[in-house]
Amino acid sequence: MTKKRLRNIVNKDELKRRMEESTEPRTTLSFYQYHHIEDPKAFRDQLFLDWSELGVFGRIYVADEGINGQISLPSRNLKAFKEAMYSVPFLNGIRLNIAVDDDGKSFYKLTIKVRTKIVADGLDDESFDVTKRGKHLDAQSVNQLLDEDETIIVDMRNHYESEVGHFEGAICPDVETFREALPLVEDMLEQEKDKNIIMYCTGGIRCEKASAYYLHKGFKNVYMIDGGIIEYTRQCREQGLPIKYKGKNFVFDERLGERITEEVISRCHQCGEACDTHVNCINDACHILFIQCESCAEQYHQCCSEKCSDFIQLPKEEQLKLRPTMQFNGSKFGKGRYKAFRTSGDLMLG
């Protein structure tokens, strides 16, 4: 009997090439569900077999506390995928957040990993009741509550996510991880425990845990946007409601962002011009995430600095020889931390 493959074996560059050249319509979506899974490894392997047959690409995390996934699949297989997913009892009927700005090029392979947690939060789940979560708000309720003067809205995402898009008047923590955001937001709102506090993230999963944690910490009126930015936007567009989120929604796939509104609220990290396009430095020895406009992409050969631009133009043999002896922005700064322009607007090359 032939053993079925449980992992990808094709080179990633080849997979990316196939994705870029494909004209097959694909749908990008995300989902999550907290549920106790007795054997995450066996569950993971079965998912890989079932979903591979449906042409699913994406990144899924499985843990004994549940599942968290962002995927794309051929649009023609969407019905079959829903049937396969809903055949799993604890996944039956869960919401699938369909991307609001999708070119079908979000993922190029299927990766399913077993993790300790489906979101790295650093919390001791045994110390509080994770089932006592904040109240979910639909889009209309979000807008109504935001019209009240005493309402506080908090972005539970990382700084490079909120930099390109966020709700009007939102508190946006200057953090690189969700783990960092939890205690920081708690300290920031220590004197506001009786006010209405709305939390939001991309699809809702981070706020599920955060809302339970803050209720445990004594906050009285904790709310969360049901389905996150993605579902909020869908409901607003469907119902003709004003969208109080401005800019782009950062996403963790090949797109790196989906357009919510036309406002551009961030700037190119190299020249300071209005721009909200996230890219990774094309120099594989650097690969830092930053914001770059088309003009700077051309000037710096899709690199974050002259140093990286010069490096990638060397012969491959010389690059390999020099790489261990050189330090680039990717090894000096965190995601989105690199800024190549001074406040004055003068260029500051790395």
Asked whether the beta carbons of 172 and 162 are under 8 A apart, the reply is yes
Lateral strand order in the sheet of 258-259: 165-167, 245-249, 258-259
How many whole angstroms separate alpha carbon 111 and alpha carbon 12? 12
- 3-state DSSP helix/strand/coil % of the chain, to nearest 5: 35, 20, 45
Tell me the residue type at 150.
E
The one catalytic residue in 172, 201, 293, 296 is 201
- Tokens 């054997």, residue located: 39
The verdict on whether 275 is a catalytic residue reads no
205-216 and 178-188 helices, crossing angle to 10°? 40
Residue 238 neighbours by CB distance under 10 Å? 9
d(CA 76, CA 269): 40
Annotate 5-37 with DSSP letters as a single string.
P-S--S-HHHHHHHHHH----EEEEEEEEE---
298: Cβ contacts below 8 Å, ≥ 6 apart: none
Amino acid at 211: S
Which are the contacts of 23, defined by CB distance < 8 A and separation ≥ 6? none
Query: Is residue 175 within 8 Å of residue 183, measured between CB atoms?
Result: no
Task: Tell me the catalytic residues.
Answer: 201
